[in-house]
Each structure stands twice: as C-alpha cells, then as structure tokens.
Amino acid sequence: MEAGIDYAAVFRALPGMVALLTPGLRYADANEDFQRLSGRTRDQLVGRHLFDVFPDNPNDPAATGVRNLEASLKRVLETGERDSMALQRYDVESLERPGEWEERYWSPVNAPILGPDGHVALLVHRVEEVTALIKARGVPEEGRARVLEAELYTRARELQEVNERLREAHAREREVALALQDAMLPAPRPVGHHLAAVRYRPAVGSLNVCGDWYDLVDLPGDRIAVAVGDVVGHGLHAACVMGLLRSALAAASLVADGPARALDVLGLYARSVDGAENTTAVTTCVDWETHTLLYSSASARDSGSAARWRVRASARRARPVSMSSRRRSMRPSV
C-alpha cells in the first residue's frame, strides 16, 4: 500500500509553511502554504539561495534574522539533529510596494533529512508566522494580554542569546578536550622492531569527548604492553583523568612484574585521583620470544565512601597458533 502513496502530493498539501533546503541553503521545494503565505511562486524559490529570496531588512542595522537562521541551519547540518528557534523578528519586503519592508515575526523549526550515507541530504525548514500575535490590537482590557505577549517575545530572544553563549562555551571546551585527548593518546608507531596498527573510535560519536584510552609500551626484552581503559564521564575533566591514569599505567608496566602487578599499582594511584571512580582497564603483555600473552583486567566500583579496585584474570596465558609463523609481521589492533 505504501508504494501507492504520492509523497510529493502529500508534501505539497502539508498544512503550514514548509520548505526543503539543500545543504547549500538553496530551495529544493516548497509546499503550497509556503508559496501562498510568502507570496512567492515555486519558480521564484526553487534553485535560489534562501537569503537571496529573504534577506535582512537593509533599513534595520540591528536586524538579526539572517544571522540567527543561518546559525540554526548550520547546527542541523553539523549535528544531524532538529533545532527549534526562539521567536524571530524577520522583516519581509512588500511585493506590492518594492523597497518597503513589513515587520514580521516567525517561529521556525529546522530538521534534517538523512541520506543513505547518514549525512544530511536535505533540510526541512518549517515556519509559522506569529506577527498577528505579537502586534495584536484589541479593546483596553486586553492590554494585559498584549504586554504578556511582548514579554514572551522578549524572553524568547533572551533565551536564544543564552543558548548561543552556552553552545559557544561547549564548543570551546570540546575543542580543548579533543586537543588534549589527541595529545595524550599515542600516535601509531613501531613498538620496538614490531609494527602496530591502531584504530580509535569512540562509541558515543564525534560530539562527545570521552575518557577512553589505549596505549602501547615497549617493555624490556622482546615484549610489548597493550593497554585499554575507560574513565566514566565525558568532556574535559574525563580527558584529564584519562591522561593521568594512562601515564600511571604505562610507568607501572615498565617496572611491575606482570600486568596484574601493574594494575595493582594503578589501583593505588587511582585512589588519589578525583574522577577515577568506576574506571576499568585491561593490560596485556605480548612476549615475542616465548610467543605467549599474559593479561589482566581490573575495575573500580564505588563501595560506600571508597572505591574498591579489583584485579581479575591475572596470570593467564594464551598461545596464539599464528604467532610463531608471523612473528615479524603480526599487527596487534587496539
């Protein structure tokens, strides 16, 4: 039955003003209500840039309509998530009197349409005109309602400005945390005379900086330590805690008698690190001379006022079948 639905007709008949924009912010289509209420035909819209059709009022130096709408659309493109805007004043040039601009107020919502590759293929731009609400005129007893409406608009604008500052602060913190995380995680390089291939993919996606870490340590003899760990949390603090624990485990691996002892040392150190609660870690010693793996795992769990560090699976050995035949070419993947 779905194959018989004319989705183009459905789009054209949608109630309210709805337009489709390309990632370059050009009109791909507009429904009938958008054409009727904006006074523009489909031919006057499709293929043209959004802000060429609807620019800011040149007579209003304080106009912010283009800036706010462009910022919202870019957020949708970057995050792939819907963005609801506060009430906007966005004046429109009169079609009957070119050069004259009419004061208009809008409530916009922008949403993504994802393509097969998961990237934003189109933007849904839905707007509702609320000019009549903001500029309502009535009998004297309705004065209080008009004051409340004006107050609503003012508070909505203030809320948007606060949200903009929060987004900027979050972007700055994320940029610092990403740089810190990249600096703390080792770059792919030969370990001793063995090659290593590393691929790091945070499970939560690109918008969050996490406390996950990995490490490769060249040990005395023909041995390599491979470590993976996770600090609960996101952001700059988690990245800092991750760096402290990674460095401590690397140092312990160089001097401790095996992975279990290295994790014991890490557990003692983690007690003094704020934010190291609920940390998990595993470290493996690859011995190329004996062709064996020695590995241990550990986790910290809150227990009342103190976190208890538990080391598990210590002193276990495994003998991979392929190690003896690929001693010089094996590429451990972290």
DSSP 90-132: --EE-SSSTT-EE--EEEEEEEEEE-TTSSEEEEEEEEEE-HH
Q: What pLDDT is attached to residue 171?
A: 77
What number is the average pLDDT over the span 192-216?
67
Residue 35 has pLDDT above 50, yes or no: yes
Instruction: Average the pLDDT over each of 117-126, 151-160, 200-209, 247-256 and give the range with the smallest value.
Output: 200-209
Question: Given pLDDT bands bounded at 50, 70 and 90, which one contains residue 290?
Answer: confident
Who contacts 111 (Cβ-Cβ below 8 Å, separation ≥6)?
76, 82, 83, 123, 124, 126
Cα separation, 215 vs 219, in Å, equals: 12
Question: Given pLDDT bands bounded at 50, 70 and 90, which one contains residue 146?
Answer: low
What number is the average pLDDT over the span 239-259?
87
Question: Given pLDDT bands bounded at 50, 70 and 90, which one contains residue 332?
Answer: very low
Cα separation, 115 vs 228, in Å, equals: 34
What number is the average pLDDT over the span 124-145?
70
Tokens 């976190």 sit on residue? 307
Who contacts 304 (Cβ-Cβ below 8 Å, separation ≥6)?
none
Half-sphere exposure of 225 (CA within 13 A, CB side): 28
Q: What pLDDT is attached to residue 207?
A: 45
Q: What pLDDT is attached to residue 157?
A: 67
Cα separation, 307 vs 301, in Å, equals: 5
What number is the average pLDDT over the span 113-135?
89
Question: Given pLDDT bands bounded at 50, 70 and 90, which one contains residue 202?
Answer: low
Per-chain mean pLDDT for the chain: 79
**Best-predicted range by mean pLDDT among 43-47, 235-239, 255-259, 303-307?**
43-47
Q: What is the DSSP letter of 202?
A: -
Residue 50 has pLDDT above 60, yes or no: yes
Instruction: Average the pLDDT over each of 60-74, 229-243, 276-290 and give the range with the smallest value.
Output: 229-243
- The model's pTM is 0.48
Three-state DSSP state, 307: strand
Which backbone phi and psi does 210 adopt, to 5 degrees? Answer: -115, 180
What number is the average pLDDT over the span 286-315?
68
Of 34, 33, 43, 112, the C-alpha closest to 80 is 112
Who contacts 180 (Cβ-Cβ below 8 Å, separation ≥6)?
236, 239, 240, 243
Question: Given pLDDT bands bounded at 50, 70 and 90, which one contains residue 273?
Answer: confident
Residue 74 has pLDDT above 90, yes or no: yes
Q: What pLDDT is attached to residue 72?
A: 93
Residue 149 has pLDDT above 70, yes or no: no
Instruction: Average the pLDDT over each of 52-66, 131-145, 270-284 and give the range with the smallest value.
Output: 131-145
Instruction: Give the residue, 154 or 75, on which the prediction is more confident.
Output: 75
Helix (H) or strand (E) holding 216: strand 210-219
Question: Given pLDDT bands bounded at 50, 70 and 90, which one contains residue 327?
Answer: very low
List for the chain the helix, strand, coil content (%; round to 5).
35, 30, 35
Q: What pLDDT is attached to residue 44?
A: 93
- Determine how β-strand 210-219 pairs with β-strand 223-234: antiparallel
Instruction: Give the residue, 221 or 10, on which the prediction is more confident.
Output: 10
Q: What is the DSSP letter of 194?
A: B
What number is the average pLDDT over the span 127-139?
72
